[in-house]
């Protein structure tokens, strides 16, 4: 196991005038991302005076704070210096090599046709059949590295290189909520209707963004996602139940 100690300096830099960003590595990996989420959990459990929220990304954690509240911690010291000290103290003994218990979330998907208009194109560019693409996509287990781009949009890592596909040269002006797409070596699900350039291979009837709930996102950073193939009839039944 590895851990931060007093001899290991965190890379904490200012991010505007009311946030700091902590970088945990220079490349995307599960190990680096696990450090990000361990740090985020620690900050949520032990917030400092003036803490607002923290946002985990692929290799970094951004912590937002109330400048005025932080200034009251110690007069005459810059808010950034105070926050850096508070954050360093809280993360000084965080374990970074341990395996966190992750939620496993199953996402039902109806593939191809109107649900996934780019399925055949993705298959052709990889010298596969549409059935091959579906099989490979549903065999994988995907890590939610971060949420972003749109409310609740999960960036999922761990997709097989056999079904990688570039973004569309011309993004679609509107993609339906629930669309499952591929871009490069990533796969993801559009939680709301929005413009986008990912290759669409299917659609889920689940609502990923639920503004009336807390938290409003079905998925969380750090979750493991498995896609489960369903029929059009099952899609309609689940969709009706969800609404």
Per-residue pLDDT of 190-229, as tens digits, reads 999 999 999 999 999 999 998 888 788 899 888 999 999 9
Distance of CA 67 to the CA centre of its chain: 28
Position 41 scores a pLDDT of: 85
- Label the pairing between strands 172-175 and 194-196: antiparallel
How many CB atoms lie under 10 A from the CB of residue 32? 18
Q: Which of 3-7, 144-148, 215-219, 228-232 has the lowest mean pLDDT?
A: 3-7
pLDDT tens for 80-138 read: 999 999 999 888 766 544 455 678 999 999 999 999 999 999 999 999 999 999 999 99
Question: Who wins on pLDDT, 133 or 153?
Answer: 133
Q: Do domains 11-91 and 104-242 have the same CATH topology?
A: no
Distance of CA 226 to the CA centre of its chain: 14
Tokens of 151: 């409310």
62 phi and psi angles, rounded to 5 deg: -105, 130
pLDDT of residue 243 exceeding 90: no
Position 97 scores a pLDDT of: 46
Q: What are the residue boundaries of the structural domains of the chain, listed by start?
A: 11-91, 104-242
Tokens of 42: 């620690």
Q: How far is Cα 132 from Cα 228, in angstroms, rounded to an integer?
A: 14
Whether residue 180 contacts residue 199, with contact meaning beta carbons closer than 8 Å, is answered with no
Instruction: Report the chain's mean pLDDT, rounded to a whole number.
Output: 88
pLDDT of residue 1 exceeding 50: no
Please identify which residue in the block is written with the tokens 């499952």: 180
What is the CATH code for 11-91?
A: 3.30.1360.40
Q: What is the mean pLDDT of residues 154-169?
A: 94
pLDDT band at 6; cut points 50, 70, 90: very low
Percent of the chain at pLDDT above 90?
A: 62
What is the CATH code for 104-242?
A: 2.40.100.10
Question: Who wins on pLDDT, 221 or 22?
Answer: 22
Tokens of 167: 């973004």
Question: Who wins on pLDDT, 5 or 216?
Answer: 216
pLDDT of residue 163 exceeding 60: yes
Q: How far is Cα 25 from Cα 33, in angstroms, rounded to an integer?
A: 9
Q: Which of 88-97, 149-158, 175-184, 192-201 has the lowest mean pLDDT?
A: 88-97
Q: pTM of the entire structure?
A: 0.72
- Label the pairing between strands 19-23 and 11-14: antiparallel
Whether residue 217 contacts residue 105, with contact meaning beta carbons closer than 8 Å, is answered with no
Whether residue 79 contacts residue 66, with contact meaning beta carbons closer than 8 Å, is answered with no
């Amino acid at each position: 196991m590895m851990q931060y100690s007093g001899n290991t300096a965190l890379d904490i830099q200012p991010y505007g005038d009311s946030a700091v960003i902590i970088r945990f590595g220079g490349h995307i990996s599960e190990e680096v991302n696990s450090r990000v989420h361990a740090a985020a959990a620690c900050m949520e459990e032990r917030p400092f005076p003036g803490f607002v929220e923290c946002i985990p990304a692929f290799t970094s954690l951004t912590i937002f704070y109330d400048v005025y509240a932080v200034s009251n911690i110690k007069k005459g010291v810059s808010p950034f210096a105070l926050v850096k000290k508070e954050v360093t103290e809280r993360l000084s003994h965080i374990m970074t090599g341990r395996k966190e218990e992750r939620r496993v979330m199953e996402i039902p998907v109806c593939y191809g046709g109107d649900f996934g208009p780019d399925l055949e194109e993705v298959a052709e560019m990889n010298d596969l059949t549409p059935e091959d693409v579906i099989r490979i996509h549903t065999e994988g287990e995907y890590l939610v590295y971060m949420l972003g781009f749109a409310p609740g949009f999960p960036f999922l890592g761990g997709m097989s290189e056999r079904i990688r596909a570039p973004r569309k040269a011309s993004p679609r002006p509107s993609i339906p909520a629930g669309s499952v797409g591929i871009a490069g070596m990533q796969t993801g699900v559009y939680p709301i209707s929005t413009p986008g350039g990912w290759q669409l291979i299917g659609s889920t009837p689940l609502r990923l963004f639920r503004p009336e709930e807390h938290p409003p996102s079905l998925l969380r950073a750090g979750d493991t996602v498995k896609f489960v193939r369903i029929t059009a009839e099952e899609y309609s039944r689940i969709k009706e139940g969800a609404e």
